[in-house]
A and B are shown apart, each in its own frame.
Chain A
């Protein structure tokens, strides 16, 4: 469905190029944001490498917030402050939500979407806590290695 949107965009641009060559999607940032909001994680990262404007927009945390809570009913507003404090939605998505969703995808039931997000949030919090320890001068509590409590979410290939 997203691809269709994109095609339409291109078509519009193509058509309009003949009629009104002055329409660029980059002039209409709100439309761009609406489109990018509906992308999946990988496409969003790809979109971030298109141009500087797209990169800035893609880095905007609200896009990633949409991504995290897409399949879940809109969360209470308190979640936002918590997530932002813990490192932001992009980090939440790439670090926790995506691996959790992909691993649980096989056995996912509709009712588990909310629990997945909650579990991801908890794991995210533990990760933040470990990062806190690493940045302290007393980082030797956790050892000299980087925070590793989320390592089990990484696929062995990536490591």
Chain B
């Protein structure tokens, strides 16, 4: 760690260091006991630094090193400097040396500021540019308030862009540390980590990149620490809100479109030659998947079949039957293109509440079951009853469907260990946010981001039955589905072609379709 290396820096710090390095108290314990006091380890080496200031001192020592390396000419001045700084008060010593480097030497040497300022307050007091703008030169203020002899001067060197990246990396490290604390149950340290991170956030660009993702994760962590793992407001969004967010997510990036078109292609191919078909949709939302299927069925050689659609969705409050409305719209579309169509809506707040008799499947018709990002919600295991995923998969199997299309997130967010889950989620959602930015569509992406943000909050801050975003990777789903009696079906070249075309249309950089043993991944 930086602290211990830098302690040997600084040529002129000789003197009264007592060499009592033999008996070192156990590091971790010592530090936790003397939270606001002098750090024990460094005290053993003769330096008096407050534990709460360790990080700041380390940063400034690094800067001092950079400054010394960059301007060797000033070193000679330091050597002949007659002002003696007390080297055992490491914080003030390094600050005064830093100021020497940046200021011309014939400047009043009293830089005393309030010891309690955090980053944001300090930035208000300055008259120059805000700290997080690139290429800003150093800002030093000359407030002469005589307080205790803690000299804290916050200097910004000209390497701000490097510092931003550095801050980004630092943010990630701090996020990991905080998550580790949460896993250990050490909430006080986690809280202080959170505060540090929030301070660091002001120095990082939160409009894009790592800053934005980190912001969401910090929110989720604070939700977990302060509001507990019950979920609360995250899971309490109304169905109407969810529909709006889903719709914006559908438009802003190609994931859902890709899912819909690929699933439709598979269903179309499976229904080839059948005259009486029935599709069960596990999450109807606005029914945006089905117009394309209706049109494709209308134009298939041999004429359209009789199509029945059963849409499952959450019950709508205030008496509005949204399922029925969607059904009416789809029926009107089907009527325009001369496809015989029948719709049925099943309102259920959870998928495991749906029973097969509600779907009214006719034994003579071919059934297709379509699940877009719904099955992972059933993976929460409640030890009191049978695991819901097995129940649902078994009744799906009992319907004897011609085809079952499953679309899921390719991520591993269902591990029992919190830290592993957190790490995976951080990588996955950073990539997802990057991909969102790569899309050149003009729509307002803010709502799509809120959609993703809710997922993040659920993965990080909820546990037990409140955590519904339990994503699992492809291999696990394959085993699970074949264990339930399903045989994998390859998607075929038509689906792949269509997916590639769709991606090209989206004209976004960085997306690609991959085929993985019959499954398509975006």
Whole-angstrom CA separation of A137 from B134 in the bound complex: 51
A141 touches B441 (CB 8 A): no
As a 0/1 sequence over residues 24 to 61 of chain A, the CB contacts with chain B under 8 angstroms (1 = contact) are 00000000000000000000000000000000000000
Number of B residues, CB within 8 Å of A: 44
Question: How far in angstroms is the closest Cβ of chain B from A96?
Answer: 10
Tell me whether B349 is interfacial, beta carbon within 8 Å: no
The A-contacting residues of B in range 230-248, CB under 8 angstroms, are 243-244, 247
B residues less than 8 Å from A133 (CB atoms): 286, 329
Interface size class of A (residues with CB under 8 A): 35 or more
A151 touches B443 (CB 8 A): yes
For the residues of B in contact with A, the DSSP-based class is helix
Whole-angstrom CA separation of A159 from B442 in the bound complex: 8
A129 touches B288 (CB 8 A): yes
A103 touches B505 (CB 8 A): yes
A residues less than 8 Å from B507 (CB atoms): 103
A125 touches B295 (CB 8 A): yes
Instruction: How many A-B residue pairs have C-beta atoms within 8 angstroms? Tell me.
Output: 108
B residues less than 8 Å from A142 (CB atoms): 247, 286
Whole-angstrom CA separation of A29 from B261 in the bound complex: 43
Whole-angstrom CA separation of A44 from B30 in the bound complex: 83
A122 touches B501 (CB 8 A): no
As a 0/1 sequence over residues 300 to 344 of chain B, the CB contacts with chain A under 8 angstroms (1 = contact) are 010100000000000000000010011001101100111000000
The A-contacting residues of B in range 389-448, CB under 8 angstroms, are 439-443
Tell me whether B504 is interfacial, beta carbon within 8 Å: yes
List 10 A–B pairs whose Cβ atoms lie within 8 Å, in order of A's numbering. Answer: A76-B299, A86-B295, A103-B505, A104-B504, A112-B501, A115-B494, A115-B497, A115-B498, A125-B291, A126-B288
Closest 6 CB pairs of A and B: A125-B295, A85-B336, A122-B292, A129-B291, A125-B291, A159-B442
A residues contacting B by CB (< 8 A) are: 76, 78-79, 81-82, 85-86, 99-100, 103-104, 107, 112, 115-116, 118-119, 121-126, 128-130, 132-133, 136, 138, 141-143, 148-149, 151-154, 156, 159
B residues contacting A by CB (< 8 A) are: 243-244, 247, 250-251, 254, 261, 264, 286-288, 291-292, 294-296, 298-299, 301, 303, 322, 325-326, 329-330, 332-333, 336-338, 439-443, 494, 497-498, 501-502, 504-507
